[in-house]
Amino acid sequence: MTRPIVAIVGRSNVGKSTLLNRLTGMRRAVVATLPGTTRDRIFASITWQGQDMCLIDTGGWLPDHSLNSAVPLLQQKVTYQIEIAIDQADAIIFLVDSRDGIITADEEIAEMLRQTGKPVILTANKVDSPKQKGQLADFYRLGMGQPVPISAHHNLGIGKLMESVLAVLPTAPQESSVKSPEAKLAIVGRPNVGKSTLLNTLLHEERAIVDESPGTTRDSLDAEIQWGDERVILIDTAGIRRRARVAVGVEYYSLLRALNAINRCDVALLLVDATEAVTAQDIHIASYIMEMKKGMLLVVNKWDIIPAAQRKEFQRFLLARFNFLSFAPFLYISAKRGDGVNRILPEAWDIWQETQKRVANSTVDKIIKEAVSCHPPARRGMRQLRIIKARQDESSPATFILKVNDLRLVYATYQRYLENQLRQHFGFPGVPLHLTFIKAGSKNKGNREVTKV
């Protein structure tokens, strides 16, 4: 399953973060009246009318002449990350402020977007009344057609905007119900944690360029391994294309490439560096793997550098930081020396098989109802959650559908209890399970997917 990327681009303070928050239905981005609030890019996965997509909220574009001498490097980083988001996006929402009209920064962005050849949806924000729609004619000068009027703050025009987005997204190929005979493994992680070194060690050859500086790998590399009678495809994720700008873009570019690799794989090998603290980017990548319902193996590299006396303490720290990955196996290796690398393929293969595991629906229903009988859910006033029927999803083995009497009675603690019961009986090591609750008799209306991140 490939999830297209939609970038929200515009100058500073036009409402990009407000729009992201509106589309996700939650406050995923910080919103403030000061220009330039969003600096680190925000990623959010949403589903609109059955279409999954990844939204990217970018920082505010500023023309060169407006840069304050005190913050040129910061703006350089923001501007470069906007360029990266545009480069990776399948579609672009170009947001302008209807109240301000066209200014120089809008014209610069429009010129840049025209050169990409990518589908762009010109969107005029802060159109809070029908009268204001008549003031949008000036935006035709940008050469991007009719602007879509919206008010992200007041939730006006959002449906029309998303219809325009869906119309230009690439059509996903129809997935075959027959699984391919090879397991696709993606090596993902932050720059310079040893992804290319691990790929070379697994292949027993210098297939990928290895360098001490972060961002050496410029494109994703796919390599085939014949492992006994089995066939494995390894996907190595890229660092950065333009080495002159490594200092200002490597982390962001690496994250975007990781998202694309995760989209393509069956099992993600999340590589972390034992010599560095677990970072927010490590957490983001792990969370995205879970959202995409991919198998996961957490691989701790450079383990040989950690003194033996400190290893138990480091393992405790790692388990605490990744406490939401209790389902995922951990391996400790040295990609450079080859220590522990021979355990990766067998472990990843087992996880891949777990991602395809099917359980009889009657058995799932029985286990869930036995779990409810042994530990009934908490009451809410006079009402109590009842699970009418439980089954495994036909198209996604890691997803379980539970029909209930009232969605409001589904609590996070009880969701975790039910997931633990499913794992206790059916296993699924290395596979993030998703519980989807549906109100009985609703014909799939009002579904609520519960994802623990």
pTM of the model: 0.66
Asked: is 361-450 a CATH 3.30.300.20 domain? The reply is yes
Residue 251 confidence class, pLDDT cut points 50, 70, 90: low
Q: Give the highest mean pLDDT range of 30-44, 74-88, 148-162.
A: 148-162
Q: Can you tell me the distance from the alpha carbon of 398 to that of 248, in angstroms, rounded to the nearest whole number?
A: 38
pLDDT tens-digit map of 274-309? 998 888 888 888 988 888 889 999 999 999 999 999
Q: What is the pLDDT of residue 258?
A: 74
Q: Can you tell me the distance from the alpha carbon of 201 to that of 322, in angstroms, rounded to the nearest whole number?
A: 26
Residue 178 confidence class, pLDDT cut points 50, 70, 90: very low
Q: Can you tell me the distance from the alpha carbon of 107 to that of 122, in angstroms, rounded to the nearest whole number?
A: 12
What one-character-per-residue DSSP string does 303-360 give?
GGGS-GGGHHHHHHHHHHHTGGGTTS-EEE-BTTTTBTGGGHHHHHHHHHHHTT----
- Which of 3.10.20.600, 3.90.1150.10, 3.40.50.300, 1.10.10.1100 would CATH assign to domain 5-168? 3.40.50.300
Cβ-in-10-Å burial (0-12, 13-18, 19+) of 379 comes to exposed
CATH code 3.40.50.300 region(s) in the chain? 5-168, 183-354
CATH code 3.30.300.20 region(s) in the chain? 361-450
Q: What is the pLDDT of residue 252?
A: 60
Cα dihedral 443, 448, 451, 453, rounded to 10, equals 170
Residue 329 confidence class, pLDDT cut points 50, 70, 90: very high
- Parallel, antiparallel or unpaired: strands 230-236 and 221-227: antiparallel
State both tokens at 437: 């609750």
Asked: is 183-354 a CATH 1.10.510.10 domain? The reply is no
Check pLDDT > 90 for residue 249: no
pLDDT tens-digit map of 65-76? 444 544 455 566
Check pLDDT > 70 for residue 380: yes
Higher pLDDT, 255 or 140: 140
**In sequence order, what are the beta bridge partners of 371?**
none
Contact indicator for 412, 377 with CB cutoff of 8 Å = no
In this structure, how many other beta carbons lie within 10 angstroms of the beta carbon of residue 349? 17
- Per the prediction, the chain carries an average pLDDT of 81
Check pLDDT > 80 for residue 180: no
Q: At what angle do helices 16-24 and 158-168 cross, to 10 degrees?
A: 90
Q: What is the pLDDT of residue 132?
A: 80
